[in-house]
Every structure is written in structure tokens, then in C-alpha cells.
Amino acid sequence: MRIIAIRKINQSRCLLLKSALRHYRNCFADSVALADEIHVSIAEELWYDLHKRTEAKRPLQNGRLDMPVYKAAVLLMALLRYENDGDINPEDIPELYRFKEALYQQLI
């Protein structure tokens, strides 16, 4: 299985990804479509993985986030939805673009 890696993940960047995943999950909260349920469950799983890393006793500094392709695709969809619909802090916009570009390059 192919693994997608995002480098230089720190605590604040991890929180940005968690916010995007939470927003994505909330967008499909009332949906009954099976595809949406699958995407939401993958988003929740990825959110939990990030939550474990952010809630650790030592803060995350310049780590690396490895994930399978299907999780990276859901993360990319979550980032795109968060960019279009979410209330993004202006300081987070460059990081959002950096994550999107890193995922695009590795998925294509």
C-alpha cells in the first residue's frame, strides 16, 4: 500500500488539520448517503489519529504524518471544504495551501 507523508508537522499545524476534519465531518452530519458515511468515518479516524498526537505529553515538533492514500484523499477533500466554507484564521491560510499542495503532489 502506498503511503503519503506530510513533513514538518508541529502542534499548531496538527490543530489546523483537526479543525478541517471536524468541519468536514459536520458538513455531512445529516447525510444518509453511504459514500458520505464512509468519508466521515475515515475523517473521524484521521481526526482521532491527530488528536492522539496533539494530546501527548510532549508537544509535537517538526514531526511527520504518514497515512495511506485513502486517508490522504479524505484529508485533501476536508482541506478543500474547509477552505471554501470554514472560518479560517488569516495566519493559517499559507499552511492550508502548503498542506493542499503537498497532498496534490503526492496523490497525483
**In the chain, where are the structural domains located?**
3-107
User: pLDDT truncated to tens, each residue of the chain (108 aa)?
Assistant: 788 888 888 888 888 999 999 999 888 877 767 677 888 889 999 999 888 888 876 656 667 888 999 999 999 999 999 988 877 888 888 999 999 999 989 888
Backbone φ and ψ for 42, nearest 5 degrees, come out as -65, -40
User: How far apart (Å, rounded) are the C-alpha atoms in residues 7 and 99?
Assistant: 9
Burial class (CB in 10 A: 0-12, 13-18, 19+), 84: exposed
Q: Taken in order 96, 97, 103, 106, is the CA torsion positive or negative? A: negative
Q: Can you tell me whether residue 16 is helix, strand or coil?
A: helix
User: How far apart (Å, rounded) are the C-alpha atoms in residues 1 and 71?
Assistant: 12
User: How far apart (Å, rounded) are the C-alpha atoms in residues 91 and 85?
Assistant: 17
